[in-house]
Amino acid sequence: MASNACTFQNLTLLLIICLPLSTSIDFNYPAVFNFGDSNSDTGGLVAGLAEALDPPNGQIYFQKPSGRFCDGRLIIDFLMDAMDLPFLNAYLDSIAAPSFRRGCNFAAAGSTILPATASSVSPFSFGIQVAQFFRFKAKVEDIQAKTRKYDKYIPAQDYFQKGLYMFDIGQNDLAGAFYSKTLDQILASIPTILLEFEHGIQSLYDGGARNFWIHNTGPLGCLPQNIAKFGTDPSKLDELGCVSSHNQASRLLNLQLRALCKKLQGQYPDANVTYVDIFTIKSNLIANYSRYGFEQPLMACCGYGGPPLNYDSRIACGQTKVLNGSSVTAKGCNDSTEYVNWDGIHYTEAANQYVASQVLTGKYSDPPFADKMPFLLKLKF
């Protein structure tokens, strides 16, 4: 993937050339507190539900499953790296005294913004994650009032106000709804979903949070899982081969999320609210995959079934099961850097790296940013 490597090596130069400034962006954060689903889960669901995540998950960077639904690092890992901060430990991962000094990750795979139901993949919906944050904060304050012995493991008191609060959630509210609701019903539910999200943001603001970084939802219709289930009729697909209805729902959610961010920017003049257009970055990657060094935009690297999607909902990446009387394994491909999609639902490390590089240009943010980043010369990819 030589062309990709070249792109990332030249990123610093590209960022320095970008000149539009925004005084509201300051990336010198002492800590990051993250809320989300599998797109930014660094081990929450695996720890919380004792979920099994088999090899080849984690093979690229960690050389073993790391609690991430990926062959390596996630977008959030690259963003933390760019800010010269350590990878975030999951709130629920308590073994071996993980350090939460520079932040904490409340994200859990399968999580929704709306409260979880009995059939939800994850019980850790957005409201629960916000509640976990407040328990975490109260516990930190309680420990600090008693002793300074654990200071190297927990955030300093002012980190809660000065820290960055990141959000990447909402994908599962839409994706799950398509199994039981019509497109019109799903589109009509979006204001309710975003009202729940607004309540969570408001709680965090009332608790002292001032820096909000909100990712929108990617093109759901381009995930092999959704193409396999809802795209069997070619008339349901768009020009990229993605399910039109799913991408329509993603676009409407994002339109209303952007409006909410604008509202919050006006409502909280002492806060920084940044909206990040992940949908456009990912759509561009899928549409122009070969330009960025990829060979497979829609086929899963780790799966079962072969082309065109290599995805079978009955068997997850790394698992071995008996299907139609035969024992089969969902194996990884030879070179995951050639694939945008990892397992039918999540992106590969190579794709996540590309997305992070685009996020860091500032072009896809509202308000935009470019020059106010102390990590410009520290980029490690």
Active-site residues, by number, are 38, 343, 346
Inter-residue contact 277 to 216 (CB < 8 Å)? yes
CA Rg, the chain, in Å?
20
- Note the Cα 141 to chain centre separation in Å: 29
Other C-beta atoms lying within 10 Å of the C-beta of residue 158: 11
Rounded to the nearest 5°, which phi and psi values hold at 290?
-65, -30
Angle of helix 183-206 relative to helix 126-146, nearest 10 degrees, comes to 10
Helices (H), strands (E): how many in the chain?
12, 10
318: left (phi over 0), alpha (psi -120 to 50) or beta: left
Instruction: Give residue for tokens 């990332």.
Output: 8
E runs forming strands in 196-338: 211-215, 272-276, 296-300, 320-323, 326-329
> How far, in Å, CA of 192 to CA of 352, rounded?
30
Three-state DSSP state, 36: strand
Task: Give, in order, the Cα–Cα distances in Å from 141 to each of 89, 138, 144, 160.
Answer: 19, 5, 5, 11
Of 97, 98, 96, the C-alpha closest to 88 is: 98
Inter-residue contact 184 to 201 (CB < 8 Å)? no
Inter-residue contact 348 to 337 (CB < 8 Å)? yes
- Note the Cα 35 to chain centre separation in Å: 9
**Which sign does the torsion angle of CA 343, 185, 265, 369 carry?**
positive
Burial of 124 (0-12, 13-18, 19+ CB in 10 A): buried
**Which two three-digit tokens encode residue 229?**
């289930």
Residue 322: CA count within 13 A, CB half-sphere = 1
